[in-house]
Amino acid sequence: MIINLKQLFSITGESKEFDYSIEASELSDIKGFNFSSPISVKGKIYNKAGVVYLKYNLSFSMVAECDRCLKEMDIPYSFDCDHIVVPSVSGDNDEYIVADGENIELNEIAVTDMLLQLPTKILCSDDCKGLCMVCGADLNEGSCEHQITES
């Protein structure tokens, strides 16, 4: 979704709200993730005292396997994101979203924010015991003969 910012950059107090979805089919280039719902993007971009702010919420569900026991689960996520948008910047830019001319591509920003927020390790529960390293039994469902007992 492309948002034109011409009025937002020039009129203090101006704002635009948005509420749309990024379909899972549009995310096929992102390898290693299986989205079970569209990504809902809902928020607002506004000019307050001459500074343009972008604030929005991402919500979606993703099918993933537990990194310890390989149990498949459908996980809902919701992230709040906020940025300052500028028409241009000199030097390196790590803090601001720089508008391309007078536009920003909100899908690209939202997908980048989503990927940065996702956990690197996904567990079915904090106390997941995983699998036996010898026979592969799920230790959450019971012990096996290979389980090392502490003396």
Residue 19 contacts residue 39 (beta carbons within 8 Å)? no
Question: Structural domain boundaries of the chain?
Answer: 2-117
8 or 78, greater pLDDT: 78
pLDDT of residue 149: 52
140 or 149, greater pLDDT: 140
Q: Residue 147: is its pLDDT beyond 70?
A: no
pLDDT of residue 150: 44
Q: Name every residue whose Cβ is closer than 8 Å to that of residue 106 and which is 6 or more positions away in sequence.
A: 1, 2, 3, 18, 41
pLDDT tens across 86-114, in order? Answer: 887 776 777 888 887 788 999 999 999 99
Q: Name every residue whose Cβ is closer than 8 Å to that of residue 112 and which is 6 or more positions away in sequence.
A: none
Single out the residue of 61, 52, 40 nearest to residue 9, CA to CA.
52
Mean pLDDT, the chain, as a whole number? 87
Q: Name every residue whose Cβ is closer than 8 Å to that of residue 34 and which is 6 or more positions away in sequence.
A: 62, 63, 64
pLDDT of residue 146: 74
Q: Residue 151: is its pLDDT beyond 70?
A: no
pLDDT tens across 44-85, in order? Answer: 999 998 889 999 999 999 999 999 999 999 999 999 999 999
Q: Residue 129: is its pLDDT beyond 50?
A: yes
Cα–Cα distance between 87 and 24 in angstroms, integer?
30
Radius of gyration of the chain (CA): 22
pLDDT tens across 21-41, in order? Answer: 998 778 877 787 888 889 999
CA atoms within 13 A on the CB side of 139: 17
Q: Name every residue whose Cβ is closer than 8 Å to that of residue 129 and which is 6 or more positions away in sequence.
A: 68, 69, 139, 140
